[in-house]
Chain A
Amino acid sequence: MAVMPAKRIYEGTRIPSPCPTILEIDPAKHALEDILTVNFGPNHPSTHGVLRLIVDLDGEEVAGIRAVIGYLHTGFEKSMESKTYWKGITYPERIDYLSFQANELVFVLAIEKLLGIETPEKATWMRMCLSELNRIHSHLVWLGTSALEIGAISMFWYAFRERDMILDLFEMVTGVRMHTRYFQVGGLAEDIPEGFYAQARELARHMPHAVDDYEGLLDRNAIWLERTKGIGLLSAEDAVALGQSGPMLRASGVDWDLRKSAPYLFYDEVDFDVPVYTNGDVYDRYKVHMDEMRASARIVNQCVTRLEELRGTAWIADDRKVVLPPREELHTSMESLIHHFKIVTEGYLVPEGEVYVAIESARGECGCYLVSDGGPKPWRVKFRAPSFAALQATATCVRETLIADLIAVAASLDPVMGDVDR
């Protein structure tokens, strides 16, 4: 039987042992009669949802911690097994409700990989464009709420001002502000409205200035710097060992972004920078988020340029066995009506097989493992949730911190509890 090494996993690590996600009280350092156990959550406003942390305090210092999750477990993966692929696309968006389009995209890409269906160029560019807008949206919510928790209340209004502009764009394109269900197997649900291009370009122009404003508010704020610098440390080795991804990894000095390292969609055709910071503290995670918003705005701008050239081209593949026929054909064509009826009621069949698709969502590697038995419903869907991985680093990050810093650290991990609990 394999047994954990008695002392530590490797030299210099801060990962607790024997259980890597639980920080146990060290009786040599803390007199046990002084320990106060506090229940932090599940309904504490700064736990980003329903996260419960059981914290052992020695004075103000965090001596022990264990995280309890599962309060938002809704069984998405089980429910999806009884829905056709066509209906199932609605579910993943609710998992990570801040970067909804990333989850939607990864599920659609997994189905397409099994089907072997090609999407039109326009659909791919639009998927990229919306994914990047979604990344900005998710980072803005993170920035607003995290700053709010540390006391920078005004940030919340600034961040939500720009967030609303992005939601306006989503509404214009898809008809809904969140949970858009705009990506379909084969392409997009509808063509891009004419007003989108100018408004998206305007947002891409405005966004870097907005980020400058945020940094102006925070980077010279002594309280913000005091509360974020040197807090919640995570080394590069520990981040890799704990399976971290996304901003967590890049703030710890690991240059890893799936958009660059394993390009999907057309990410190899656009020009953007991947920010990497080396201190692995809360401040660096904040800097990564800020720089990523600038990079995303650049990508949006390049996508809009390409999309403008592709005006009038198809937005969804012409494959009548998988894609719904155009609405106007239903009144005149018997075959179209049959196809429409079959796809909606029975669903399309996906060949037997298993695939794993991973994309870079706002919080890191968002993966979808899909097993098909050849029928119209998935046999098994598993989402690799970046927030789930991020929360595993809590015990490592809060070593030798104070209870007040715990709030800043938990926020910097950027967990979305819907994503953690699924």
Chain B
Amino acid sequence: MTPTGVPGVVETIEAHGETTLVVDPARIVEACTHLRDAEGFNVLADVCGVDYLGWGEKEVAGYIGTATGRDLNAAGSQGFQRVPEPKPKRLAVVYHLLRVSDDPARVRVKAWLDDGEEIDSVVPVWPAADWNERETYDLFGIVFRGHPNLVRILMPDDWEGHPLRKDYPIGGEPVRFSGEP
């Protein structure tokens, strides 16, 4: 069942049997506290970032599927040219919540951020957010206000850049080979 009356919700999306609540980033703690206390989402399964820089620029080919499987003979089932839906901002922070009880449920909370925009930390709501938010900061450079220890976690402390951003090149780290001067 879709949670209703959550503060700060901008949009509710139902797709693939999953519910996504798009939340105003300024009210993320309020929304998460409500989801924990009123809706019973007691476990924060995951927090991650997504960088949508360059989304839709390649005008990729997608195809239309049906719910029960795809009809290969139907027209346009392959090679149907379309541009993916544009996204409101460059970065997204995605929270996957889980209700561990006799009535299990999952919900995805999403907040859109521009590059350099900050968001409140949800560590006071779920202590489990600690390392997840550090990882998101480390890999995407998203700053979580109020996080008790927001330092790099996977990359070395003196690393420059945030590797999972789309403008961070793969193979960008120069490798020195033996015998090289």
Q: Are B155 and A70 in contact (CB under 8 A)?
A: yes
Please measure, in the bound complex, the distance between the C-alpha atom of A78 and the C-alpha atom of B84, giving whole angstroms. Answer: 21
Q: Are A70 and B153 in contact (CB under 8 A)?
A: yes
Taking CB atoms, residues of chain B closer than 8 Å to A388 are 131-132
Report the interface size for chain B: residues with CB under 8 A from the other chain. 65
Residue B145 at the chain A interface, CB threshold 8 Å: yes
Q: How large is the interface on A (under 10, 10 to 19, 20 to 34, 35 or more residues)?
A: 35 or more
Contacts A20-B127, A356-B108, A369-B48 given: A75-B146 contact, CB under 8 Å?
Answer: no
Interface string of A75-99 (1 = CB under 8 A from B): 1011101100000000000000000
Q: Are B42 and A240 in contact (CB under 8 A)?
A: yes
Q: Are A351 and B62 in contact (CB under 8 A)?
A: yes
- Counting chain A CB atoms within 10 Å of each CB, the highest count among B15, B148, B164 belongs to B148
Which of A1-9, A137-145, A160-168, A277-285 touches B?
A: A1-9
For B29, give the chain A residue with the smallest CB separation: A2
Residue B44 at the chain A interface, CB threshold 8 Å: yes
Contacts A320-B72, A321-B78 given: A5-B124 contact, CB under 8 Å?
Answer: yes
Q: Are B29 and A369 in contact (CB under 8 A)?
A: no
For B58, give the chain A residue with the smallest CB separation: A375
Residue B39 at the chain A interface, CB threshold 8 Å: no
Residue A19 at the chain B interface, CB threshold 8 Å: yes
For B103, give the chain A residue with the smallest CB separation: A261
Contacts A2-B121, A114-B16 given: A73-B146 contact, CB under 8 Å?
Answer: no
Residue B178 at the chain A interface, CB threshold 8 Å: no
B46-71 contacts to A, CB under 8 A, are 46, 48, 50-52, 55-56, 58, 60-70
Residue A355 at the chain B interface, CB threshold 8 Å: yes
Q: Are B156 and A70 in contact (CB under 8 A)?
A: yes
Please measure, in the bound complex, the distance between the C-alpha atom of A79 and the C-alpha atom of B84, giving whole angstroms. Answer: 22
A218-234 contacts to B, CB under 8 A, are none
Residue B45 at the chain A interface, CB threshold 8 Å: yes
Q: Are B67 and A116 in contact (CB under 8 A)?
A: yes
Contacts A116-B65, A118-B68, A369-B94 given: A384-B45 contact, CB under 8 Å?
Answer: yes
B8-46 contacts to A, CB under 8 A, are 15-16, 18, 20, 29, 42-46
Which of B29, B44, B170 is A243 in contact with, Cβ under 8 Å? B44
Interface string of A351-385 (1 = CB under 8 A from B): 11111101000000101010101111001101010
Interface string of B156-178 (1 = CB under 8 A from A): 10000001100010100000000
Please measure, in the bound complex, the distance between the C-alpha atom of A245 and the C-alpha atom of B46, giving whole angstroms. Answer: 12
Contacts A20-B130, A115-B65, A358-B45 given: A375-B60 contact, CB under 8 Å?
Answer: yes
Q: Are A69 and B164 in contact (CB under 8 A)?
A: no
Chain A: minimal CB distance from B1 (Å): 15
Q: Are A351 and B65 in contact (CB under 8 A)?
A: yes
Please measure, in the bound complex, the distance between the C-alpha atom of A356 and the C-alpha atom of B106, giving whole angstroms. Answer: 10
Q: Are A261 and B104 in contact (CB under 8 A)?
A: yes
Q: Are B55 and A379 in contact (CB under 8 A)?
A: yes
Q: Are A349 and B100 in contact (CB under 8 A)?
A: no
Query: Which residues of B does A touch, CB under 8 Å?
Result: 15-16, 18, 20, 29, 42-46, 48, 50-52, 55-56, 58, 60-70, 72, 77-78, 82, 84-85, 94, 96, 98, 100, 104, 106, 108, 120-124, 126-128, 130-132, 145-146, 148-149, 152-156, 163-164, 168, 170
Query: Which residues of A does B touch, CB under 8 Å?
Result: 1-5, 9, 15, 18-22, 69-70, 73, 75, 77-79, 81-82, 113-118, 240-243, 245, 249, 254, 256, 261-262, 319-321, 349, 351-356, 358, 365, 367, 369, 371, 373-376, 379-380, 382, 384, 388-389, 391-392, 421-422
